[in-house]
Structures are given as structure tokens and as C-alpha cells.
Structure 1
Amino acid sequence: MKTIIFRALLFCFLLLGKINASLYAQYDVDSLKRVIANPKLHDTARLTNIAMIIDNLYEDKESERYNALMGKIAQKHLNESGLNSELKKKYTMYLAAYYNNISYAMENKGDRRALSYLQKSLDLYRTVEAYDEYYSSLVSKGLLLYRQKREREAIQCYFEALKFFEKNPKENADGISYVYSNLGVLYGEQDLFKESIKCLKKAIFYLDSKDTKPTLEDALQKAGMYYNLGAAYAARKEFRLATHSYRQAFKFAEITEQRSYQCYVLCKLSDIDLYFKRLDAAEEKLMKAKALAENELSSCGVLVALGELYFTQKKYDKAIPDLKEGLRQAIQIRNRNLEMEACHLLYKSHKAVGDTKAALAMAERFHQINDSLKIYENRKELKVQNLKYNYEKRDLQHRLEAQQKNYIVYGLSALFILLTVIVFFVVKNYRQKNAIAQFEKNELRQKLLRSQMNPHFIFNSIDNIQSLIYNQKPTEAVNYLTKFSKLTRQILEYSNENYITLEEEITMMENYFAIQQLLYNNKFDYTIDIPDELKEEPLLIPPMLTQPFIENAIKHGLKDKITGGRIQVRFYFKSAKLYFEITDNGKGFAQQETDNHKSLALKITKERLMYTSGNIDFSVKIENQTDTENKVIGAKVSFEIPYLYEN
């Protein structure tokens, strides 16, 4: 379900541009062509009409021909000497528009030079202080950088443009809305769905706040915004809100007669049906979506969605052909997210039919794509940029308010105010440094958490995989590799989160147990007990609190066991508090080793408990288990886990 959501968050921004030229045509192109053919027409008027022709042409080649004419006329006049400042600014702006149009055409063809031409346009706008056009083009630059997977630079462009637009929000509602839309997509791409929802709601708010009458272009923008909003809600499993948002997106897609948009929305609604096992309803929506698909992106999305549906129904003879064609189209249109999802589903489908070689090839391709996305680094950059932006915004607000006051009082009063302002900014600067320091401290804490994946565990796992391959056991090797890869990815991903669901913690725990059983030749069994009432509670807990104690029980508690080891994990409520308990049938704590790794793990866990809850009285209870003759027959560890309700 989760990988499907990645696909959702990208589509509307990958199609920006001339999605449907008929939406914007307002002038008779033939009449405009006759106007510019008049030899007595002044070149400034000729350029105005050429720009309108370009905006209303459907044929790319003809559009490129008129754009070349616009650039030629503008450049000719800029080479002349003695131009007054007004004419120089006009011709410069038309030349900038010329480079902007070249950039757009190149991007549509996948030509990476598009960015350099857009930069030429930006430089020209800046030379004549055309800041509205400059910052609008800066958002376009951010989008190009984002498409090239240069997310850090894209983020900087978005926030720089946003600071300019928010100086006059009433006149720049379109620009603010567009920036927040792009940020919403970028946050969603990095799994920061709460922030994504905030940005997308702001984008819709600013679009609705415009004084002008809504246009078809506004409706088209809203279709994309509501679509991405639905995807973010679906990622958080808030399916009622997700369904409402998708239906809003479908409504605006119908208004603008965008068949592809309708296709995407139906795919997403089918994902929700699939999640709730409404398989017939999901297939019905996907068949409608297939009929609506009118380009490779929409066709690819439907094929991958159908592949997942057929895989769920165990119709592998249908799933594999659809997924292979979806993968081919994803590669052709350079959509890494759809490519990754198709690989993952093909891996599972090939594995289900016993084609181990094909399954392993798809698994390797999936991990190569996944590793290239650099999700962790982009999350960090988003947080730093957001922190910096909020600080600078408050700083700017303060200075704008200060300018409205009358400071021309007596000399002593002026000195006092000056000192006050200096102190204010010193304090502001101090607080900002503290905020960044706290952020870096939290980053260090996450690195300490990732240290729980100790090298011995990694190397032993790799050795075991290698041994299974050498012993010609490909099925077991793929199974082991899958579990090890999933566990590694879970630990790295969850270490960046303050809270995860109890279900996610248990899934990670089961993966860890399964790998440890393989590492220790199945010398122990385990059980995880959760009361039914606890399963129904939408609880969020700090990630990986339990892993050090599971490792300790296996590595130390069961050290001398060759077979017959038992570990029992239990979660339970007591007096409205959530507790974790782990017991083993080893030799108890008196005979266990105490090494640096164990000490560090226990220390970090206690610090995290106190840090998360703000309660310094948290403690970990450690005791031996004894029989009727007071003989040690095992060990037990228990402690309270701070939790939140998901809603």
C-alpha cells in the first residue's frame, strides 16, 4: 500500500505545462498572425502579439518557430545603442521569456540543458529588476531541480520565492499557492505526510482567497492539490479524509475535462478498496481508469495498480504481464517511483510462481532504485530549511512593524530603542542557535539509535546469505535477504521518527526475531502476546525501545542453550499505562556478560524514556525467574512505554 502512495504524490507536477492547451486559448491565432505581418507595426507591439500566438499554439514545432522569432527581435534591439530604460526593460523581458520557453520545450524532451536556459531567463529578469517574473521563474527552477532529483537545491528555491511572495500575499496568492503545492509534494515524497497536508491545505486556501473569478486553470490546480492531499491522508491511513479529497479531485478533473486526472483518481480510490479487501469494487474502478488513460504515465499507473490487484487475487498469469508492461513504460517515462513499485510487485509475483532467478533480479533492481532516492538526507534538509525560514519570516515581520513606528523622539529615547532592538536581535539569534543545536542533538540521538544495528549482526547475516547461495539454496537465500533488507530499512527509517505505530514496532520485532533464529540455527522459539483490546487501540510509541532487550535475551540469556530456548514478549495495559515485558529461560542475570554494547543500549533506552515523556522516574525493572526450589530458570525485564493516540 505504501509504495502506491509514492506514485500518487508526483503525477500532477510531472504534467505541468501545456496539459490541455484548449483550456487557455482565448485569441484567434490566424488574426494575430495577420497583425504581426504588418510591416508598419512597431516591434514592441509585434512582440506582444507573438507572445499571445505562442500561448495559444497547440503544435510544438510552430510554437518553437514563433518563439525563435521573438528571441531574434528582442536580441536585435538589445544590441542597439541608445535604448531608453523603458524599451531596454521590455526587450530584456521578452528575451527572458524566449529562454524560458526554450527551457520548457527541452524539459518536455528530457533534455537536461533545460535548467541552463531557465537560468539565463532568471539572470535577465534580475538585471531589469522584474522581481515578480524572477521569483515565479525561480519556482519553475525548483521544479526542474526536483525532477532531476536535486531536492536540496529545489527546496532552497521554493523557500526563497515564498519569502518574496508573502511580502504581498493578496497580490501573490497564485505564487504562494504554487510554492506550497510543490512543497506539499516534496514533503510527501519524503514521507513527512503531516507537513505535506499542512502545505497542501495552505495552497488550496490561497487559491480560494484570490479576488478574481476562478478560472479553468485554478480548477486544474485544485484537481492536483486535492489528489496529493488524498494521497497524504491515505499514507496516514485516514481513509475517510482521503476518499473525500480524491472525490474533490475527480470533480475538478471533470470540470476541466482532464481524462488522465480522472484516471489517476480512480486508481487511488481503487487502492483504498484494495486495502479494505473490496476487490470487485477495486477492479471496477481500474477498468474505468484503463478506459480513461490517454498517455503513458496514466497507462503505466493503471497497469501497476492492476498488477497489484491480480497479485492480491493470486491471478499471477494476469499480474505478471501487466506489471512487465508497466515496468517498461515506467522506464521509458523515467518515473522512478512507478519503476520501483513494479519491481517490488514483480519480485513477489515471480517468487509466488517459483521463478527464483527472476524474483532475485527484481529484488536487486528494487533496492538499487530505493537506495538512490536519498530520503534521509532530504528530510533533514527540509527540517533545516523550514527552521531557517520561520526564523527569517519572524525577523522580517518584526522589521516591517518597526518601520511603521515613529522613532524620531528625543535622543535618549532613540538610544534606548536602539539598544532594545539590538538586545532583541541578540536574543533572537541566541534562540535560533539553540534551536539548531537542539536539532543537531536530535540528529545525533538518531545516529546512536542506528548503532543498534551492530557490525557483528550485519556481518553474520551477510555470511549466512553467502553460505545459502554456495549451498545452492536460492529460495532460502532470497527469503533471508528479503527479511534482512526489510529489517535494515525499517531500522534506518524508523530511527528518524519520534513515534511509530505499535503495529510497526511489532512487525520490526518479528523480522528481527526471524533473522536471529537463522543466525542461531533455530536454537530458540519466541512468542509475542498482545491482548485483543490493545490491538484495536491506535497507539504510537517511540521506535526500537525493545530491540536492545531482545538482543540481550538472545545473546546473553540463551548463551549456553543449544536447543530449547524460549523467549516470550508481552505488551499489556495496567492502570492506563502501557508496559513491555520480555522473559527467557536462560541462566538469569547473575551469569550474564556485561559488555559495552549492552551498557550503551540500556543507557540510551533509559535516556530516551526520560526524554520522550519528561519523567525522570522511568526505570527498567530487571529480575530473575525462579522455580519452587528457588533455582534460577530464566530472566525477566519490564518497563513502562510512553505512548500517544494516533488521532
Structure 2
Amino acid sequence: MHSKTTLNLIKIKKSKWLFYFAILYISNTHAQEISSIEKIAAYGYEKRFSDSSSSKKMQLQALELAKKKHNIEDQVICYSYLALTQRRLLHIKTFSRYVDSAFVLSEKTNKIRAKAFAFYSMGALKSYIEDKPQAIENLLKAYELFSKEKAHDECAKIAADISYLFSPASPEKVKKYAEEALDHAEKANDAESRLHARLAYGGYLTDRLDSGYKEEWQTALDFFKETVVLAEKNTHRIISKSNIGIAYINLADLYSKGPKPINETAFLQNLQKATAIAKKYNIKIIYRSSIGLQGFYYTEKGDYAKAELLFIEGIKYQQSLPYTDNYLLATFYNSLKDVSVKRNDFEAYYHYDTLFTKYNQLKYNENTQKMLQNADVRYESSKKMERIQQLELENELEQKNKLLGYGIAGVLLIGLIFMFRSYYYRQRYYLNREEILKQEQANSDLKMQLMEKETLENLAARLSMERRLLRSQMDPHFIFNALGNIQSMILQKDTVPAVSYLTKFAKLTRQVLEQSRKETISLEEEMGTLKNYIELQQLRLNNSFDYSIECSKDLETDIHIPPLLIQPFIENAVEHGLKPRDKTSKGLLEVYFEQRDEMNLICTIKDNGIGLTASRKLKINDNHQSLSTTITDERLTKMQKDHPFAGFQVLERDPETDSSGCLVIITIPIL
């Protein structure tokens, strides 16, 4: 209500000073703890979607007012609002600088609200640079402090953000904080907070559906219908327009997951509303999701022409903007490739694949740059925090030295008899203290240099291993043979198996590229990749072997493990065990998963190939060197710090009691 009154004053008088006077008047006539300067900064923050330039200017003016008044609390809050604004503008350096300024200044005040804003902005920064543990820690501190202040609007938003950070690892905490967000939003009686909280609780309901609770679909649908009604009734009061678009996207997605046939009219209407909001406020993720869901729906429906037009429309809209979103373009061209395959339009497939490769490489380069940038910000942030702690210790020592000096001066006043003695000991004390401080300073500098060197070395080692892993996963011999088989099928006019082979090969390549950049993947994803890889090997070797991939009955396939650990052993089993065996009978490759305990997954790989001894003899004359097993061994060795059972064994099967061939037992940590 206050914001609306202020906006009317601006329209009538068009004077920023009259605006400031109105803010001051409102703060004096309403008994609230929020200062007039904070209200100016908050109003500027609300304009971040409609006018980012004016938003930043207004917040900087509020900061200048706080500095002129030497008000540390308002400076902390202004810096925090500026930081949160930069988060939306994706200016990571400026974002980090404002957060550090807020956090350092907050140490000089005991005001709960100022400290709460400082922790909130720090939690937002840690979340942005993907430091989830630190993000949760800082947001929980902010949540606790805002709760003491009974700032229910801020509590609703922060509790919702905490709920997202715990998903999907801890469903209980996701539910807990989502429900607390709803409770605070009701107490705040604010449409913005209500929508934020309802989206968090809706996320919990959606996670339940994805976990297998299909009977709760109608409950989730009704909840999101109510959420959309709330958003539509209060559109003018909701500042975060992206949340309105997310509500439409989530509701449409729920329709697509419901009973068949789905309510097509409701599904498309919600996506069209989301697209309109995305275009109006330039919200890329909403636009990408809306077009993607529509295109996927028409593709599944078999209306390939309409799906293709949608993706092309999305590309044209993106290319009309003054900037290039490589992620968006790569996504749309990849979707066009899938549509081309379904239409058997291989000329279009080649065209779209060329453009997809171009933008996908640019997207990968941007992601790598962002990862390095985030690592740099994480390092700089930790170094600054250590420097702050060092300065606090130095200040504490300085205060102690001052008190000691005053004490000595008091002793000197007792009498001239003890003057010389007191003077001597005081000088001696200061000399010793100076030496200690110099030594501590030298030790601290050395520690910081060692930390900097260790951090950079660890980062370089990690990136080097990731590059080596990515290169090792796709053996050049395998790639050349696969492409040769495809060429042979095309020349023999075996179109259907050629397209199937090509689709499997493209899917495998995409899976390897995507999974090599992830910290963890689900067991189901890993099994899918292995199935695709083994079937390509079957085609390449003329179906000379059979395979099976099975799990124990009590094993859940949604557990998460490190990616790309098992494929190198499958490759060895095929290349060095099954391929050189006698062709009079079919080979057999068996993969079996079972869970040893809550922390470890056991993968057993059996083949009835020629065995270890014969394989080693053949390798003497084989110039092919596979680094994938070596790199996998290095990865498992590094994991043993936190997971001591991580590792693998390669054994010879006993032909008398079992069968010829090899047995590989891999112990994989569950993350």
C-alpha cells in the first residue's frame, strides 16, 4: 500500500525529493522499526524487473544517504539490496563486492535486522556459486534473525529458498521449510510472499509425484490451480514476475503428467500465459521451458510440423534480441534434430546438427568460464573471510595492549621508586610483543600463500582429470567403427537400422558429454547409458554376444553415484574378452548391481571371454592403449578419503567351477 501511495506521488509531482519526503512522512506516521532509508532501498529493489537502471540508481541514492548519516545498519541493508539486485543481472563480481561490504560492516553493529540482511545476501551469493552447504548455513542464520524480528515477509522467502536447497536430498526438510514458508506468508498477508511460499510447497508436491506417489496428482493439481488464481488476482502486487511464469509452467507440467488423454486446452493456455510473461519481462528460463514443453507435447503427439514451427519461432525470437543465449539456441536446435529424426528428414537433421554443435560448444565454453569464475569467487571470499578474522585478532591484541599500557602507566604513578623498573619491563614487553606479532604476521602470510597455491593446484588437477575423463570415455576406435558401420548401412540402403544406429550413437555421445560435467547421476541414468553403449557394441560386433543388466530386488535406482565409472570396465570386457573369443558360440556379458550398505553400491561385471592370461598375451602385440581404466582408478583412489571402501578388483574366473572369462567387482560410493 505504501509503495502504491509513493508511486502516485511520483506521477503527480515527478520529483525525487518529493518522493523522499513522502517516504519520510510515511515512516513518521506509522510506528515501524524499518527506517526511511531502508524503505527507499526496498522500493528501488522492487523496480528491478520493470526498470533495472532506475532500480539501481535509487538504491545507490539510499546508500549515499546512509553514509552521510553515518548509519551502519542502513548501509548494511542498502549493500544487501544492491547485491540481490546484481544477482538477477548476473554481475558476479559486483554481486560479490556488495555482499562483502554488507558482511564486513555488519560486524560493527549489533542490530539484528542488519545482520539478518548480511547473512541473507551472503547465502544468496553462496547459492549462486553453487556452494550449497555455505548457502544453507548463511540462510538459516538469516532465517533465525528475521524470525526474532517477526519479519514474516522475509522469513517466507528465505524458508522457501532453504526448502529448494534441501531438495531432493532431504524430503523431510523440504517439507518442513516449505510449510514454515506458508505459515510466515499467511502472517505477512503479502501476495509476493504467498506466491514464493506456495511455489516452494508445490515443488515438494511435485517431488512426491516424481518419487512414485502418483495418487497425489489431483492434490498437486488443485494446489497449483489455487496458486495461479492467487497470482492472477494479485499480478500488480507481485514484483517477482518470474514466479508468476513459474506457476503457469508448473501447472502445465502437471497436466502433462496426468491421466491420458490430458486436458490439452488447459495445458496450452498455461504455457501461452507463461510465454507472454517471459517475453514481456525477458525471463529466459520461463521462455525456454514454455516453448520446450509445447514442442515436446506436439512431438509426442506426432504433430512434427507444429513442433518444428514452435522451435523455429523460439530461435527467431532469441536471434531478434540484442544478446545471444547459446544455451537456449543449443536446446532448440537439439529439439529440432529429434523432430527431424522422427520425420525421417536426414537433410534437415544434418543442418540442425551442425548448428547444434556450434551453439553447444559455445554453451560449454560459457559453462566452463562460469565454473572457473565461481571457483575464483569462492576462493576470494574465503580469503577475505580469513583476512577479516586476522584483523579482528589484531584489533583484539591492540585493545589488550592499550589496556596493559594504561595499567603500567597507573603503576608508574605509585612512586618514583619503581619508575625505572617499570619502564624497563614495559620496553622489554613491547619488544617481545612486536616480535610475536611479526612472527604471527609472517606465519599468516605464509599460510595464505600456501592456501592460494593449494587451491589453484586442486582446481587445475580437477579440470585436468575432467578433460582426461571426457576424452577417455569415447574410444577413437569405437567412434570410427561406429561411423563406418553407419556409412556401410547407408550405402546398402538399410535406412531403418542406420537411423537407429545413428540415433543410439548420438544419444550415447550426448549422455557422455552431459554426465561428464555432473558431480553425480542416478543409477537409472548410469544403467541407461550402459545399455546404449553395449547395444552399439553389439551392432559393431555383429551381435556376437548377449548381455544382461540386472539389480537386486531391494535396490532403488534413484540413488546417486559418481558418473562414468563403469563404462571403462564394460569396454575392457568387450574389447579384450569377448571380441577375440572363438565365434563358434555366443559371448555373454552380465552386469549386476546390489547395495552393500547405505554408503556403498556393488557392481559385478562377468564375461565369458578369453580371460586375463590370454588377454595379456594378445596385448603384447596390440598398440592400442586405453587410459579410461587408469583414470577411473585415479578417481576411485581420490574418493577413498571420504569413502574408504571405494575401489575395484579384477579376477580370473575358474573354468572348472564357473566359466572362462573375467570377473570385475567395483565398490562405488553412494552420494
Q: Structure 1 length normalisation: TM-score? A: 0.65
Q: Does 1:378 align with 2:373?
A: no
SS class of match (1:26) = helix
Q: Is the alpha carbon distance of 1:196 and 1:344 closer, same or farther for their aligned partners in structure 2, counting shifts above 3 Å?
A: farther
Give matches, 1:421-570, under 5 Å: 421-452=441-472, 453-465=474-486, 479-534=500-555, 536-561=556-581, 565-570=586-591
CA displacement 1:137-179 (0-9 Å, x = unmatched): 67766755x4xxxxxxx43332222211212344486687567
Structure 1 range deviating more: 210-219 or 169-178:
210-219
Q: 1:623 offset after TM fit, Å?
A: 0.8
For residues 374 and 346 of structure 2, what CA distance do their matches in structure 1 show?
A: 40
SS class of match (1:580) = strand
Please, what is the CA RMSD of the aligned residues? 5.3
Q: Is the alpha carbon distance of 1:558 and 1:291 closer, same or farther for their aligned partners in structure 2, counting shifts above 3 Å?
A: closer
SS class of match (1:634) = coil
Kept in 2, the 8 Å contact 1:316–1:353? The answer is yes
Kept in 1, the 8 Å contact 2:541–2:579? The answer is no
Aligned counterpart, 2:169 = none
CA displacement 1:469-489 (0-9 Å, x = unmatched): 666666655544443343334
Amino acid at match of 1:26: L
For residues 229 and 625 of structure 2, what CA distance do their matches in structure 1 show?
A: 57
SS class of match (1:545) = coil
Q: What count of residue pairs does the alignment treat as equivalent?
A: 542
Q: Is the alpha carbon distance of 1:461 and 1:391 closer, same or farther for their aligned partners in structure 2, counting shifts above 3 Å?
A: farther
SS class of match (2:653) = strand
Give matches, 1:258-269, under 5 Å: 258=238, 261-269=243-251
Give matches, 1:190-269, under 5 Å: 220=192, 253=231, 256-257=234-235, 258=238, 261-269=243-251
SS class of match (1:28) = helix
Aligned counterpart, 2:93 = 156
Aligned counterpart, 1:608 = 635
Q: Is the alpha carbon distance of 1:429 and 1:161 closer, same or farther for their aligned partners in structure 2, counting shifts above 3 Å?
A: same
Structure 1 range deviating more: 464-473 or 440-449:
464-473
Q: 1:342 offset after TM fit, Å?
A: 3.9
Q: Does 1:414 align with 2:433?
A: yes
Q: Structure 2 length normalisation: TM-score? A: 0.63
For residues 272 and 201 of structure 1, what CA distance do their matches in structure 2 show?
A: 31
For residues 201 and 342 of structure 1, what CA distance do their matches in structure 2 show?
A: 38
Q: Is the alpha carbon distance of 1:312 and 1:641 closer, same or farther for their aligned partners in structure 2, counting shifts above 3 Å?
A: farther
Q: Is the alpha carbon distance of 1:22 and 1:248 closer, same or farther for their aligned partners in structure 2, counting shifts above 3 Å?
A: farther
Q: Is the alpha carbon distance of 1:104 and 1:269 closer, same or farther for their aligned partners in structure 2, counting shifts above 3 Å?
A: closer
Q: Is the alpha carbon distance of 1:361 and 1:296 closer, same or farther for their aligned partners in structure 2, counting shifts above 3 Å?
A: farther
CA displacement 1:454-496 (0-9 Å, x = unmatched): 3333444444455556666666555444433433343344334
Aligned counterpart, 1:637 = 663
Q: RCO higher in 1 or 2 (8 Å CA, sep ≥ 6)?
A: 1
For residues 286 and 199 of structure 1, what CA distance do their matches in structure 2 show?
A: 40
Aligned counterpart, 1:347 = 337
Kept in 2, the 8 Å contact 1:529–1:570? The answer is yes
Q: 1:557 offset after TM fit, Å?
A: 1.4
Question: Highest CA radius of gyration, 1 or 2?
Answer: 2
Amino acid at match of 2:466: Q
Amino acid at match of 1:266: Y
Aligned counterpart, 1:86 = none
Q: 1:271 aligns with which of 253, 275, 279?
A: 253
CA displacement 1:167-198 (0-9 Å, x = unmatched): 234448668756755764664xxxx8888888
CA displacement 1:94-127 (0-9 Å, x = unmatched): xxxxxx9xx999999xxxxx9xx99xx99x99xx
Kept in 1, the 8 Å contact 2:608–2:662? The answer is no
CA displacement 1:253-305 (0-9 Å, x = unmatched): 45741577434313124335645777637864553453576445367754432
Give me the identity figure in percent: 22
For residues 498 and 414 of structure 1, what CA distance do their matches in structure 2 show?
A: 48
Kept in 2, the 8 Å contact 1:186–1:196? The answer is no
Aligned counterpart, 1:626 = 655
For residues 376 and 207 of structure 2, what CA distance do their matches in structure 1 show?
A: 24
Kept in 2, the 8 Å contact 1:23–1:217? The answer is no
Q: Is the alpha carbon distance of 1:217 and 1:238 closer, same or farther for their aligned partners in structure 2, counting shifts above 3 Å?
A: farther
Q: Is the alpha carbon distance of 1:155 and 1:233 closer, same or farther for their aligned partners in structure 2, counting shifts above 3 Å?
A: farther
Amino acid at match of 1:433: K
CA displacement 1:480-520 (0-9 Å, x = unmatched): 44433433343344334443321122122122223323433
Q: Is the alpha carbon distance of 1:163 and 1:336 closer, same or farther for their aligned partners in structure 2, counting shifts above 3 Å?
A: same
Q: Is the alpha carbon distance of 1:618 and 1:284 closer, same or farther for their aligned partners in structure 2, counting shifts above 3 Å?
A: same
Give matches, 1:1-150, under 5 Å: 25-29=6-10, 31-33=12-14, 48=17, 144=89, 146=90
Amino acid at match of 1:446: E
For residues 467 and 517 of structure 1, what CA distance do their matches in structure 2 show?
A: 16
Q: Is the alpha carbon distance of 1:225 and 1:609 closer, same or farther for their aligned partners in structure 2, counting shifts above 3 Å?
A: same
Q: 1:308 offset after TM fit, Å?
A: 2.1
Q: Is the alpha carbon distance of 1:443 and 1:301 closer, same or farther for their aligned partners in structure 2, counting shifts above 3 Å?
A: closer
Q: Is the alpha carbon distance of 1:443 and 1:247 closer, same or farther for their aligned partners in structure 2, counting shifts above 3 Å?
A: farther
Aligned counterpart, 1:290 = 272
Q: 1:620 offset after TM fit, Å?
A: 0.7
Q: 2:102 aligns with which of 154, 165, 168?
A: 165
Q: Does 1:307 align with 2:244?
A: no
Amino acid at match of 1:306: Q
